[in-house]
Structure 1
């Protein structure tokens, strides 16, 4: 997916920014301003210093993060919530390499992101100069495109194109590597006007009609709504389509919020830890309208056993995703919102699926997500549900990765797009806290932002408590602390005879006290009776707060489909898992 894209010095000089520039760094900032970029996340350093100097008087707000990985995750989340590319900055060498995890994360999740990295002067490249690294070579596999701006005249256009491409078509991360002599060097070349989209819009009309006929004839239809529905701003079209034709809707993890989970047609999330009823709906459907999904292994389980009787209609803006993992009987390449409108216009009649809808309702009752409340321990699910009950429906939820991520996914009721911000494809622990910072800046002022984290995940980026304290950002972090790397412990119990090798985290600090040391408010919860009052106090605090919730260390995430298994054969508890 990646490509290195040099920018020609002889391209048309049609300009969209009248601000005069005198050097490459000013050209970079002018390109950001022309693209409407309002906020940057970064860490200062030697090779990127000229760009920071140009930002000093610019109409762009910079947020200094504690670590470059925090900067890239914050920028990523900013893009997820706002729908516009988030931008991060880092210096050369370790600054740039510290961005790699976040770039890979954004690449797998198709998040719009731009990274600007400093580089040693061109005359020192290849000579093992101080803080030199082959940033373009290192990041090529995990970017949609990357650029090396070798001269001052190339800088502005490279940055302009990187911002444009990051949000064009299927979104993704881009990077511009900026040698110090290029940013310091003189130029009067302002960036060209932003390029226009070349992504496909509508699908082939004849193919749409054939697919619509297949859907109309279905007895057991289902819509699978993926992350592309959210990124393509197609949630309204998907909701209209599903409700008008009364088709049950399953979502992928990245597709959470694309369809309201409190709707009668909602089957919620499918996959390894998805609901049993969502997995059954996919496994037993006869026609699947899959929109904006890449059919990754956490969704499908074993490909050979996935939706065995389904005729698959696959809508995606990226033709390389069609039939990559799951064969598409009806491939429809185009923008999700546009193609859904095409299908709606082409559908001759709604599917005759009364019996199927009744079956789906029966499954929702039979495999409900109810759980037991232990008498001597705090149920993590209870904490998630209690906070959900306290906050508005448009609250933005970020997470790290692990058991806490699954409990947040399962027990928070999502009804709006761009309110679920998590690491899906790469599964990056430590994502939640810096993501909450980016989400806070992107969200509306009256929206709440909360982060669910685990003790192991929170500890990976805990230094990012400093920026929200400094900026007095109103974010609430709830650490579901089981003193384990919980998902690892669960798998060790299930598949490694309970040998807890390097998963016991009883040595972690008291996070409520650590939060106070940073200048945030700290709270602690040990039992169910404390949950409501403590969460109310944490939410009411106008600034960053951290709730250290000491949850049941033996709590596991169910339902569960063993890796590569049949999604129709899910376990609701350990005893059932042992039989699979």
Structure 2
């Protein structure tokens, strides 16, 4: 963690009850406006939990520390403020690592507080001791080892500030038990400022003028909206720019919800399993306004073939992202909302792109997202997703695990608002969906529905968190697209490994509807088309957690697809085109 800057005291009423390092930790959380924590109790973190006993903070006890990290992650995605997770030392801390790595890849604001063996035992193989700081340094934005009860509150305050400042990300404070147990009378403090890489609010004016001229002169312009648009609260500015200047909008997976997918200019998601028309728009554009995207390999396919004709204007708060993966002709570093407005003000005219818009519309018709669903065949997962979408409000939050079900939820649900798509993007963490639904439910407005799409393989990894959903009486609807396989692995084995299905199919799987009932949730089994609407209405109407075990066609694959490292313009719409 960077060197501590000057601090100032906050609410004096909090300082009145600080008598230990643990009290200072809790007071720092309260002073920062934190209201909810996700965690698992244990020996080394116990002093902090004892301090929570008298606190107004809400604590959600998770079944597993990985679930706590994912729940905190999803809370941060939906709320826009850091989610906080707690774990004890040793296995508690190691179990957080997957969730922290996930948040780090997706630039999600998370703060982790971990217990640690007493300071004098650190490095001596004490009970449940691991090098938490060393272990998590590669997957956190910053971390710190607390050494002094008088300053531990500042350590936590800085972690909270760093998680949200600039490019968001996870931070961690490791809390030795002697530090949290020790006496202190230091009041909770918050930093005046934290030392982060300096990022200008505005981009360089001359660079903005040059970029605006390029965009205005384009005949085939495209906006590429990434997750940074949502994290930078720049959705209104991006929508205003695109509609005012008539520019088609493509999104990345993390950028889902930045632009309404039912809008005439929406080309939806690009990349490996993006729409054919989105990929064609990127491949044929002559100017691209890319905002808040890191151009990862799942988006670009082969970098050498990505957007070969485009002059790329790249807006990002992190200057290290410019030309990291794809050459950026016009890099603009700054706050997304501010820079988009700068560009809008600098545009000399709207681009002459009427013919281009017409071409994009033709691509949408030619490569429409369609599938065949015979009544006498097994349920198609695409139909299941579309049916639930039709029964839920536009603002419904969708969480997913990772795999085929994630792609179908991305492709066949219509997203119109930011912070309604919550998934694991960069790390691709199976099991993310259910604990994410818990975090999303806690963060969401009371009148928002929360739906989780999971696969049978992904659901098996974290289904113990159903106990939490039942205990906390959380109204979430989980739909398991059950194809009795790790479907994406099976699909790739069929396509690229000559059909050798090694360790990707399940000869036996539990009855998830019955299992849900054992947990105290409502369980439903879905096998036929004529039962879909009735089953979903019953699951949605249930005031609590429900699980729909939807048995879908085990041979159904995800299309379109671009083979890894391939040319996005050469996507396959079906198996025949892939071979």
TM exceeding 0.5: yes
Residue of structure 2 equivalent to 1:281: 281
In structure 1, C-alpha distance between the alignment counterparts of 2:337 and 2:377, rounded to whole Å: 49
In structure 2, C-alpha distance between the alignment counterparts of 1:68 and 1:383, rounded to whole Å: 31
Give yes or no for contact 2:158–2:190 (8 Å, CA) kept in 1: no
In structure 2, C-alpha distance between the alignment counterparts of 1:434 and 1:193, rounded to whole Å: 30
Deviations 1:314-344 (A, max 9, x none): 0000001111001110000001000000000
Residue of structure 2 equivalent to 1:510: 511
In structure 1, C-alpha distance between the alignment counterparts of 2:79 and 2:192, rounded to whole Å: 20
Residue of structure 2 equivalent to 1:454: 455
Residue of structure 1 equivalent to 2:328: 328
Are 1:297 and 2:273 matched, yes or no? no
Q: Within 5 Å, which residues of 2 pair with 1:38-187?
A: 38-187=35-184
Are 1:313 and 2:307 matched, yes or no? no
Normalising by structure 1, we get a TM-score of 0.98
Residue of structure 1 equivalent to 2:21: 24
Give yes or no for contact 1:406–1:557 (8 Å, CA) kept in 2: yes
Residue of structure 1 equivalent to 2:225: 225
C-alpha deviation, 1:233, in angstroms: 0.7
C-alpha deviation, 1:14, in angstroms: 2.1
C-alpha deviation, 1:151, in angstroms: 1.6
**Which residue among 29, 35, 39 is the counterpart of 2:32?**
35
- SS of equivalent to 2:250: strand
Are 1:411 and 2:408 matched, yes or no? no
Deviations 1:21-44 (A, max 9, x none): 111000000110000000000000
Residue of structure 1 equivalent to 2:470: 469
Q: Within 5 Å, which residues of 2 pair with 1:182-221?
A: 182-196=179-193, 199-221=199-221
Are 1:562 and 2:574 matched, yes or no? no
In structure 1, C-alpha distance between the alignment counterparts of 2:202 and 2:56, rounded to whole Å: 37
Structure 1, unaligned stretches of length 5 or more? Answer: none
Are 1:519 and 2:520 matched, yes or no? yes
C-alpha deviation, 1:12, in angstroms: 4.1
C-alpha deviation, 1:188, in angstroms: 1.3
- SS of equivalent to 2:570: coil
Q: Within 5 Å, which residues of 2 pair with 1:375-394?
A: 375-394=376-395
C-alpha deviation, 1:6, in angstroms: 5.7
Give yes or no for contact 2:303–2:325 (8 Å, CA) kept in 1: yes
Deviations 1:382-409 (A, max 9, x none): 0000000000000000000000000000
C-alpha deviation, 1:189, in angstroms: 1.4
In structure 1, C-alpha distance between the alignment counterparts of 2:110 and 2:185, rounded to whole Å: 27
In structure 2, C-alpha distance between the alignment counterparts of 1:359 and 1:194, rounded to whole Å: 53
Deviations 1:514-573 (A, max 9, x none): 000000000000111111110110000000000000000000000000000000000000
Residue of structure 2 equivalent to 1:15: 9
In structure 1, C-alpha distance between the alignment counterparts of 2:106 and 2:362, rounded to whole Å: 33
Q: How many residues align?
A: 572
In 2 relative to 1, CA 409–217 (structure 1 residues): closer, same or farther, beyond 3 Å? Answer: same
C-alpha deviation, 1:508, in angstroms: 1.6
Give yes or no for contact 1:44–1:52 (8 Å, CA) kept in 2: yes
In 2 relative to 1, CA 311–38 (structure 1 residues): closer, same or farther, beyond 3 Å? Answer: same
Give yes or no for contact 1:402–1:487 (8 Å, CA) kept in 2: yes
Structure 2, unaligned stretches of length 5 or more? Answer: none
Deviations 1:265-298 (A, max 9, x none): 0000000000000000000000000000000000
Are 1:242 and 2:275 matched, yes or no? no
Normalising by structure 2, we get a TM-score of 0.98
In structure 2, C-alpha distance between the alignment counterparts of 1:533 and 1:347, rounded to whole Å: 52
Deviations 1:43-76 (A, max 9, x none): 0000000000001111210000000000000000
C-alpha deviation, 1:136, in angstroms: 0.1
In structure 2, C-alpha distance between the alignment counterparts of 1:560 and 1:457, rounded to whole Å: 21
In structure 2, C-alpha distance between the alignment counterparts of 1:443 and 1:292, rounded to whole Å: 24
Residue of structure 2 equivalent to 1:420: 421
Give yes or no for contact 1:379–1:552 (8 Å, CA) kept in 2: yes
In structure 2, C-alpha distance between the alignment counterparts of 1:397 and 1:378, rounded to whole Å: 21
In structure 2, C-alpha distance between the alignment counterparts of 1:544 and 1:402, rounded to whole Å: 22
CA RMSD of aligned residues (A): 0.9
In structure 1, C-alpha distance between the alignment counterparts of 2:472 and 2:417, rounded to whole Å: 27
C-alpha deviation, 1:150, in angstroms: 1.1
Deviations 1:485-521 (A, max 9, x none): 0000000000111111000123220000000000000
